[in-house]
Structure 1
């Protein structure tokens, strides 16, 4: 039974999957836009939204949760300073996924995920 198991498995063990999600979320927040597979983009969308929601909260507990998840401490501080101006009036939907051409080697569906 796989009832209520909504975590995308991405064909990886749990530890590798969590490390991949943390790394992709960190790079998305650092660069604002990354190119990856469509499945990975859909998987990291929720994590990136959670990090931005934590930054909008701005409390010390939220900052500590973000530092515990993202790999770069300075990036967390920059995120918490800039998010009020950028996403203050937005209630959600901080990311956008744009589909691109398939990858040449294995024909995987590729996508660009970016911060709105």
Structure 2
């Protein structure tokens, strides 16, 4: 019986949903951090957890099972060479979801899905704040520089 076994449909047909999740899972495995919507992250999270658990036992069968759910040999290699050994002692809970707040375009809830204990460091945005820009402009005024060169 299939009572109460709902899967998130994500507003897509089954084939599209499978491809979307495979792409998302592959991106999470390769980059170790992806920004996406909350619903997609929750759906991908369970797949990523199962794949990393498979990666803890390096057998031909396990590699083939993982290859069914991700794109590319690079992702399969990373699961078995890096992620499996890294989380060998952890009994699950390899990923976390961090809420970022509403997206600017459509106000959808944006989240980061990432691996716990990941060596990939968070890089803050390289944009300057308004105050920093203003201070930088004041220190190198073109009028002052041109007057000093004429003298």
TM-score normalised by the chain length of structure 1: 0.93
Task: Note the residue ranges of structure 1 that are not aligned, 5 or more in a row.
Answer: none
- In 1: Cα distance, 2:24 partner to 2:83 partner: 19
Deviation sequence 1:17-74 (CA, Å, 0-9, x none): 0000000000000000000001111110000001101101222111001112110112
| Equivalent residue pairs, number | 115
Q: 1:84 and 1:37, CA in 2 relative to 1: closer, same or farther beyond 3 A? A: closer
Residue pairs, 1:49-88, within 5 angstroms: 49-88=49-88
State the distance in 2 between where 1:75 and 1:14 align. 23
Partner secondary structure for residue 63 of structure 2: helix
How high is the TM-score relative to the length of structure 2?
0.72
Q: Which runs of 5+ in 2 are unaligned?
A: 117-151
Q: Between the two structures, name the one with larger relative contact order (CA 8 Å, sep ≥ 6).
A: 1
Deviates further, 74-83 or 58-67: 74-83
The structure number with the bigger radius of gyration is: 2
Q: 4+ residue stretches of structure 1 with deviation over 6 A?
A: none
Root-mean-square deviation over aligned CA pairs: 1.3
